[in-house]
A and B are shown apart, each in its own frame.
Chain A
């Protein structure tokens, strides 16, 4: 294990949990249903140096950064966060251009997923195509049985751990327990949000009055996009001066008025209406058109941390005729 850097959830303050490099086992904190900041941060940091430059004589010397040398383990990420990494990968790794910063970190990381025994009220992963025990994407999958973890080795990367001294052969009775836990979690998270077919429904709603209404309570704080495990927009800025400095990329958000503002003063998305439409259309219409999958994993962070209680599930419901009774009066 010494050749790996271990990243796992830690609690920085009450309710503030993030993935950090672990130096001591006591730091790991799996008490919250999910971290506040998603695991995407490990592959696509909030702020990342792309390269440094320095003037040597009359010319600039560009120094690309050293690649990550050590192998990494991501432990304790929930299936939604792991699914989200593969969603970002679809954009960042393509035939024509590959985002080397992302891919380098992705390649060097073994993903150890953790099943969700206790999904919370904002979770809707099963509606969004995932589930609380989705193995896809994980190299190893952990299920908390109370006294021990039930571990599945799923990929070649995962198999590399089969001789780990902490693992022992599972008991057939454990399997029954796993099934039981899965059943309970499924029941809790339910299958109530009509994400299926949303791409087609939104095709007809480009100029719908829906957008006039849906954005109304949003105040454009952008926290939903920063904490979203699939949002991957970034800004590029130079820091430093003429002699030396660095080019940095930072998380950006389509909900920011500056995001699409042009130097001329023209802004193709001048109000919160267009920006909210962009956020939702990208997740549920544009992204599915390009990649056959919605860019939402149902982690519920945007609902949980929205200061004005915008509920993306309600917006999804509103696109559907199959609205549960009373939903038209819901908070949105």
Chain B
């Protein structure tokens, strides 16, 4: 019988410091074993448990898209013991991984619809996975308009800057990047995500909204989506809670009868509304 607690082996292929404060680092990992590479199938929105043996294990959303074959990307905020150990890994180091875990963004529902992606800060990781997936030539025609609103506190704290520049040039994606405070080189928008959303005012008709960011951003963005007449059933978000096992056994990530690890991390607002505010 398969033991779901045993990590498989991956190797750090590339690391990249994303932000000027050096707190966010992207690890690109490749599978050590051919069979694992073949059997690992995921959908944007899912997550993995990454291990540095001796330090521990922690959950991270998959930042790469299933359309980017052969490797996985994770963008890690240096915050505690495991994340610091992950930051210290060199290229060629081994990482243990369990996954993919959890549900995913409801990409089947997006077919024939507009997709509005709203992201804030370093919560942009699985949203990147979703955007890259939707922009893939095989998938782009399946959805209508894609609008992305992405904000960070400062220009230096934006993730995936090169990609943002490429997306900016595309005609099949409307990208609005904003920062709370600009600097002398910043030529883009300055303003908080909820206000920028109001300004951009995307249609709610035939549109799904996916929103991911710090709680304070979500708190103020949500009323704006209501004003734009997005129904709760068409607003999705991805939650984080302290986790250990990632497979619904160890208990700690529950919100009412649901577990963020196995019933989430992606929830619609219609579903969240019925749950206790235990997050």
Contact = CB atoms under 8 A, between A and B. Distances in A.
Whether A associates with B in a native complex is: yes
B59 to A, nearest CB: 11
A236 B279 contact: no
Contact of A245 (B53, B242, B278): B53
Given A50-B5, A51-B6, A97 B278 contact: no
B95 to A, nearest CB: 10
A59 B242 contact: no
Contacts of A235: 244, 250
Interface stretch (B106-114, B147-155, B191-199, B254-262): B254-262
Closest 4 CB pairs of A and B: A233-B251, A286-B257, A97-B247, A263-B80
- Mostly, the B contact residues are loop
Interface of B: 1-7, 9, 32, 53-57, 79-80, 83, 92, 94, 96, 215, 240-242, 244-245, 247-252, 254, 256-257, 262, 276, 278-279
A286 B5 contact: no
A60 B242 contact: no
B110 to A, nearest CB: 25
Given A91-B249, A262-B242, A268-B278, A60 B4 contact: no
Nearest to B215: A266
6 contacts: A64-B3, A97-B4, A97-B247, A98-B1, A245-B53, A252-B250
A261 interface: yes
A247 B56 CA distance: 8
B4 A268 contact: no
Given A103-B1, A235-B250, A245-B53, 6 more contacts: A62-B6, A236-B56, A238-B53, A242-B54, A247-B53, A254-B252
A232 to B, nearest CB: 7
- Mostly, the A contact residues are mixed
A222 interface: no
Interface string A94-107: 10111111010000
Interface magnitude class on chain A:
35 or more
A53 interface: yes
B252 A274 contact: no
Given A60-B94, A263-B79, A286 B254 contact: yes
Nearest to A287: B257
Contacts of A163: none
B53 A60 contact: yes
A278 interface: yes
A290 interface: yes
A241 interface: yes
B242 A236 contact: no
A236 B94 contact: no
Contacts of A98: 1-2, 4
Nearest to A104: B1
B243 to A, nearest CB: 10
Contacts of B251: 232-234, 252, 254
Given A241-B54, A268-B278, A236 B1 contact: no
A4 to B, nearest CB: 23
A263 B240 CA distance: 11
Nearest to A52: B53
B1 A100 contact: yes
Contact of A286 (B6, B9, B94, B256): B256
A289 B257 contact: yes
A233 B6 contact: no
A236 B54 contact: no
